[in-house]
Amino acid sequence: MDVISVIRTKRDRGELSPEQIDWVIDAYTRGEVADEQMSALAMAILLNGMNRTEIARWTAAMIASGERMNFDALSRPTADKHSTGGVGDKITLPLAPLVAACGAAVPQLSGRGLGHTGGTLDKLESIPGWRALLSNEEMLNVLDTTGAVICAAGDGLAPADKKLYALRDVTGTVEAIPLIASSIMSKKIAEGTGSLVLDVKVGTGAFMKTIEDARELASTMVALGTDSGVRTVALLTDMSTPLGLTAGNALEVRESVEVLAGGGPSDVVELTLALAREMLDAAGIKDADPAKALADGSAMDVWKRMIAAQGGDPDATLPVAREQHVVTASASGVLTRLDAYDVGIAAWRLGAGRARKEDPVQAGAGVELHAKPGETVTAGQPLMTLHTDTPEKFDYALQSLGSAYDIAPAGTEFTANPIVLDRIA
């Protein structure tokens, strides 16, 4: 085998053989295939696609690159959730402790930011002392004692994906459906969870811009999970507008704690509860009420124990960016559009995301929203506040917000998209 012939096969719209797939994944993991060569192959896959046989084999090769975990020793059924990525999507943070408070064990292996979308690990690392990297033994211990753990996949779990995930972020190949599906499902299947709920985002701020692409991705992942013995269901959810009122690491942690305290934005609460009910149903837990667990403080209790178990201080003051800039409404009327992608790009440019895989992120950087579509605004009132430690980034971020919103005349009727658009099982 040689990598050039593999690249040419996919470049010329051919089907990769099982042997080619097994070899290139193994060779890339070992360092025999260079980043620039895998970048070329990833771009060819983005442009020319893969069929179901190729995707299944690619996923299997990713799993085979490392170890597989097992949670059979736990006394609780396991349920996990994965989002395909959005703007302001902090749902994992309140969701994991909420589902644990209702009786399931939640082994949540999460990732870092990809492109304009935020990363759960980047968000949690804004909490002083919190550790994303746990050994398998530490992960199982946190899961057993608190009911939930949110951490990075260990070096032994699908190491091929760990390398490819970082590469996709900086090579413009994040949106490739075969690579998204195999990345997510290789980790989730190797992780060993008994059930999985997928949150497949749809809209301008998602990697899947159309409902048709989202259904294709969801169906592909549900089939991969089901064929591997993992009870898998997918919700297609709206990502045309940012979730909640924040996009940025510490900003989103702060908002998640508000949800766990019984408050927070209504859209974040609604989606958190919808996913919690799906996870509990998939785990076979029929009599729990996640809304009650939010209201009575039991989910907050699990959150504090989970953060502390991973070295974090749940009561510590979160980082705040040194500089702020307020964006005001250009007219009076009804805010009818607030583009998730534009807001995500602004947060990324302010320092909440990465331009290169080795770049650090700013914990306090991001965008804070003061109005959402459907609300009446007045000319000159604050629409959003930009946060960063590097004020020279403001102009660059503002470029992405120039056409990010629309304001219609007062009295204009507005109908919001439903948060949950479809269900694939």
Instruction: Report the alpha-carbon distance of residue 258 to residue 300 in Å, rounded.
Output: 10
CA 201, chain centre distance (Å):
9
Residue ranges of the alpha helices (H) in 108-175?
120-124, 136-146, 159-169
Q: Is 36 exposed, middle or buried (0-12, 13-18, 19+ CB in 10 A)?
A: exposed
In the set 22, 89, 122, 161, the catalytic residue is 161
Nearest to 283 by CA among 90, 136, 102: 102
Question: In the structure encoding, which two tokens stand for residue 168, read together?
Answer: 């996709």
In the set 123, 168, 277, 305, the catalytic residue is 168
In the set 183, 186, 240, 256, the catalytic residue is 183
Q: Residue 31 contacts by C-beta under 8 Å, 6 or more apart in sequence?
A: none
In the set 187, 201, 231, 393, the catalytic residue is 187
Look up 116 and say whether it is catalytic. no
Contact by Cβ (8 Å): 206, 86 = yes
Strands 333-338 and 231-238: unpaired
Instruction: Report the alpha-carbon distance of residue 344 to residue 358 in Å, rounded.
Output: 20
Question: Taking the CA of residue 239 as centre, how many other CA atoms within 13 Å lie in the half-sphere pointing to its CB?
Answer: 33
Look up 112 and say whether it is catalytic. no
Instruction: Report the alpha-carbon distance of residue 218 to residue 220 in Å, rounded.
Output: 5
Look up 161 and say whether it is catalytic. yes
Look up 82 and say whether it is catalytic. yes
In the set 10, 57, 81, 82, the catalytic residue is 82
Look up 356 and say whether it is catalytic. no
The helix or strand, by DSSP H or E, that contains position 420, with its residue range, turns out to be strand 420-424
Nearest to 327 by CA among 379, 251, 267, 362: 379
Instruction: Report the alpha-carbon distance of residue 267 to residue 71 in Å, rounded.
Output: 33
Q: Would you name the residues annotated as active-site residues?
A: 82, 161, 168, 183, 187
